[in-house]
Amino acid sequence: MSALSLRGIHKSFGGNPILKGVSLDAEPGEFIALVGPSGCGKSTLLRILAGLETADGGEIKIANRDISTLKAADRNIAMVFQSYALYPHLTAAQNIAVPLMRRLTRAQRLPVIGSLIPGQRKTVADIKRDVRSMAASLKMDHLLDRKPGQMSGGQRQRVALGRAMVRQPAVFLMDEPLSNLDANLRVHARGEIVELHRRAGVPTLYVTHDQAEALSMADRVAVMIGGALLQLSPPRVIYDDPQHIEVAKFIGQPRINLLPSQIEADSTVAVGVRSALSNRTLSTGAAVTLGIRPEFVRIARGGDSGLKARIERVEFLGSEIIVWRPAFPLSSATDPSSGRSRCRRSRSPTRRGARKVPRAARLRSPRKPEDRWRQ
């Protein structure tokens, strides 16, 4: 039985479809990252699951219990927003304790009088104990008396996570919680979120634009494009074996090279050079798209055959070097008789290890500076 199940979720705004029958299942303790371009419906799906939006159709179940019609407060779902949404007039301890205040009755929450009601003091002591325990697990004990305006972005992010986790919800929802952090702190926070998730042991849906976050943190990655869920698979499968061409184009930086071609009589595909295919079930003349990740492209040496191209520029990124070649086609029309390709100008990248790029791959200055950007 799945811990979380979504079936056929539809949502439209003003006649514009945002979600088109999205379905997924999350197992107990599973971490699923939702990635996709802006406007594909990731955040809308999270808001529907949290009860902040109403779906036009579909079903939501947690532990086989239908919660589609329940109010947000009754769903036992915790959500971390991109903006953290902390109360500026409350301390970190008070912010974390907000979801726990439901343990008190309305009368027990009243100032002065509430403390006279039997059981109020014990409940308040339990709340304070849980807040201190959560703060200790997040290593933020020293921040409990500070208000949000007195904390850094990373510290506010920890408070927001603590507020979400202290209630021990059935499902965690995180909507780009690291987008406001600097690069170094973001890398550190990834590990913290994964470790906290493992300790909590509840299913987590994590929305992000950062592919590195999705691939490094998630048990499975869900790729959404145009309101549809195109693939839900482990990170390695998403990268190495995409089920849809749009998934292949979206996942990976720099972007994958896609070369339209056709099958030759000897079960090869020709795009300037010939390459054997492991799938021999395709008929001769069938149209195919050849996808090549930049890291699998190398500089030809000696008498090796290859596509002729002039290096346009080289980007040094420390651990790797990206070589941009204007003549390497993203789209081409192959001439089967000659085995060559006619291509139009593109900027398709080649990724190489920083220590493996040969001297011949370095950008050479042309005679005229303006010739550098010409075809």
Q: What is the DSSP string of 9-44?
A: EEEEETTEEEEEEEEEEE-TT-EEEEE-STTSSHHH
Cβ neighbours, 10 Å, residue 115: 11
Q: What distance lies between CA 273 and its chain's CA centroid?
A: 35
Q: How far apart are CA 373 and CA 326, in angstroms?
A: 9
Residue with tokens 């027990």: 108
Q: What residue ranges of the chain have pLDDT lower than 50?
A: 327-375
* Contact criterion met (CB below 8 Å) for 11 and 56: yes
Q: Give, for 236, the enclosing helix (H) or strand (E).
A: helix 235-240
CATH 3.40.50.300 residue ranges of the chain are 4-248
At position 48, the amino acid (one-letter code) is I
Name 219's bridge partners: none
Secondary structure class of 345 (helix, strand, coil) = coil
Q: How far apart are CA 257 and CA 237, in angstroms?
A: 18
* Contact criterion met (CB below 8 Å) for 232 and 71: no
At position 100, the amino acid (one-letter code) is L
pTM of the prediction? 0.75
Name 349's bridge partners: 324
Helix, strand, coil content of the chain in percent (nearest 5) = 30, 30, 40
Residue with tokens 């979206």: 250
| pLDDT for 277 | 57
* Contact criterion met (CB below 8 Å) for 232 and 24: yes
Q: How far apart are CA 375 and CA 124, in angstroms?
A: 72
What the block records as the tokens of 93 is: 């301890």
| pLDDT for 276 | 55
Q: Directed axis angle between helix 120-137 and helix 153-165, to 10°?
A: 130
What the block records as the tokens of 134 is: 């959560």
Report the topology of domain 4-248.
Rossmann fold (3.40.50)
Q: How far apart are CA 372 and CA 311, in angstroms?
A: 9
Query: Among 55, 78, 75, 56, which residue's Cα sits nearest to residue 65?
Result: 75
Name 374's bridge partners: none
Bridging pattern class, strands 31-35 and 204-207: parallel
Q: How far apart are CA 91 and CA 315, in angstroms?
A: 46
Q: How far apart are CA 299 and CA 352, in angstroms?
A: 9
| pLDDT for 334 | 36
Cβ neighbours, 10 Å, residue 16: 8
| pLDDT for 266 | 66
